[in-house]
Amino acid sequence: EPRFASFKLVLLGESAVGKSSIVHRFVKNTFDDMRESTIGAAFLTQTISLPEVNTTIKFEIWDTAGQERYKSLAPMYYRNANAALCVYDITSKASFAKAQDWIKELNRQAPEGIVVALVGNKADLVDERQVDEADVESYLQDLRAQRGESAGDVIHLECSAKSGDGVLDIFNSIAQALPLE
C-alpha cells in the first residue's frame, strides 16, 4: 500500500545566495527579483511523490537566515535535520568558501548520516561565473580524502531559482538519498 514519510531539511549559506528563492521556487513555483533577506528562519513544507517506491515524502523545510548575526541559531535547525542544503552563488567565490565552512561544521556537529547537498545557485548568471565545476570537483576530492569515501555521498548540483532549472532535481536527489524503510 502507499507509504508516507516525513523528513526535516535545512538550508544553510551566506546571505543573498538565494536560499529562500530556491525554497519558494520548490514550494510555490514563484520567483521574486526583490526578495527580502530572511529574519531568523522561515518554515515551509512541500510533498513530493516517488511513484517507483510508492511513497510520498513530506519535506519540513527550515530556510535559515544567512546574515552573520543569525549564525548562532543554525545548530537549532540542523541538529535534528535529515538533510542539509549548503548553498552558494556560482558568481561568488566567497559564498563557495562559506558553503565549505558549513559542510565542515555539519561534519563535526550534525547528526550522523545527515544527507548533505552542495548547491550552486544562480546558474542563469553564467557570464559572471566565478566558481567552476573543476573548483567544486577538487574540493569534493579533498573532502573525500579527509573523511573517507562517505564524502563521496555529498550531492552536488547547480540550479537557478530564477529560471527554475535544476531546482526539482535537488529535492529529488535528496529524496533518493534518504533512508526509506
Residues that bind ligand GTP (CB under 6 A): 13, 15-21, 32-35, 37-38, 65-67, 121-122, 124-125, 160-162
The conformation of residue 114, written as its DSSP 8-state character, comes to -
Contact with Mg ion (CB under 5 A) among 18, 20, 136, 139 = 20
Kindly give, in sequence order, each residue whose CB lies less than 8 Å from that of residue 172, ignoring residues fewer than 6 positions away.
48
Q: Return the residues of window 23-62 that contact Mg ion according to CB under 5 A.
A: 38
Kindly give, in sequence order, each residue whose CB lies less than 8 Å from that of residue 8, ignoring residues fewer than 6 positions away.
60, 62, 80, 81, 82, 83
Nearest approach in angstroms of CB 24 to ligand GTP is 7
95 is an interface residue for Mg ion by CB under 5 A: no
H or E element in which residue 133 lies: helix 133-147
Residue with smaller CB distance to ligand GTP, 158 or 174: 158
Interface residues with Mg ion (CB under 5 A)?
A: 19-20, 38
